Amino acid sequence: MLRRRTSVPEAELELFELEMLGGGTERRYRRARPEVDALPWGTIDVSHHAAQDQLDARGHWTLAAFQEQRTGAVCAETVRALLACRAPLDLVAVASRFPLDEVVHVELCARVAEELGGGTPIKYDPRRLAPAPDRDDPPLLQAAELIVAAYCVGEAFSVPVLRNTWHAARHPLLHAVLGIIVRDEAAHGAFGWTFLDWAGDSLAAYRTRLATIARAAIEEFTQNHHAIAKQADSTVGRDLGWMEPTPYLALGRRAMAEHVVRPLQQRGIDPYAAGIAEAARDLA
């Protein structure tokens, strides 16, 4: 079963910080993803926005960078699990690109935060950057738990939300940044279903367990929706790169139902079956 993050003493937490090695290493990285440096960096002017809106934007993009870092860790762990369960080589090859995509997304979000005035502090436990499977479980189950949580829920939900955020973004830099992320995430969002279809009936004995994993992941995504619903809509989000509360919540409910829950149920994994909610809360 996936090990969820647990609280740790403040003294054991580290500040989320990023760096580039530079030189030949950075040049090889740039050759792999040249579109990043080609974006119109240095073009955001936040002087006409209120100080609180600027701070909110910095926090939003810093958190986005951290979330992409978490996802990158899960993607890397997924590649290990796919190799361990002898997944088809082409499936592994497709998944091996995803950690690089997430590293690119980390850089993009962090650079936007810098453009807005600098990142905001995030403390975290690097030993628990992302859930990890129980290494005593069968390799196929380890891969399935990671993929259901990260891809069939996380990435599948994010794709339509990010796509609409991209369309709404007004600033050329933010529109371009979100466009790169949306393009990458489209492949990530489809990957989970490809894996489940390949694994097929080999997962039959684990479907209730996978439904529990899915429900816990869904609740992690939606646990802050009540707080979001209390926020007022404005034009700030479109200017600084996120969806306002009302359209976000409407789209989020629809995306979760159509792009996450329904495809899972079609594959015999029902996160809303009787008893699953209680088991998911025990897992969290």
In this prediction, residue 279 carries a pLDDT of 67
Residue 3 lies in a domain: no
Residue 50 lies in a domain: yes
Q: How many residues does the chain have?
A: 284
Residue 186 lies in a domain: yes
Q: How confident is the model at residue 205 (pLDDT cuts 50, 70, 90)?
A: very high
Residue 1 lies in a domain: no
Q: How confident is the model at residue 223 (pLDDT cuts 50, 70, 90)?
A: confident
Q: Which helix (H) or strand (E) holds 40?
A: none
Q: Which helix (H) or strand (E) holds 45?
A: none
Are the beta carbons of 173 and 115 closer than 8 angstroms?
yes
| pLDDT mean over 108-122 | 96
Distances (CA, A) of 27 to 20, 21, 65, 239: 11, 10, 22, 32
Task: Please check the confidence at residue 196 and state whether its pLDDT lies above 70.
Answer: yes
140-172 residue pLDDT tens: 999 999 999 999 999 999 999 999 999 989 899
Residue 241 lies in a domain: yes
Number of domains in the chain: 1
Averaged pLDDT of the chain: 91
Whole-structure pTM value: 0.91
In this prediction, residue 32 carries a pLDDT of 96
CA dihedral 186, 57, 66, 103 (to 10 degrees): 50
Q: How confident is the model at residue 246 (pLDDT cuts 50, 70, 90)?
A: confident
In this prediction, residue 131 carries a pLDDT of 85
CATH number, residue 267: 1.20.1260
27-36: b (≥16 Cβ within 10 Å) or e: eebeeebeeb
Side chain identity at residue 165, one-letter code: T
Side chain identity at residue 135, one-letter code: R
Domain enclosing residue 29, as ranges = 10-35+44-283
Residue 2 lies in a domain: no
72/78 Cα distance (integer angstroms): 10
Residue 94 lies in a domain: yes
User: Residue 259's Cα: distance from chain center in Å?
Assistant: 15
In this prediction, residue 261 carries a pLDDT of 97
Residue 278 lies in a domain: yes
In this prediction, residue 3 carries a pLDDT of 61
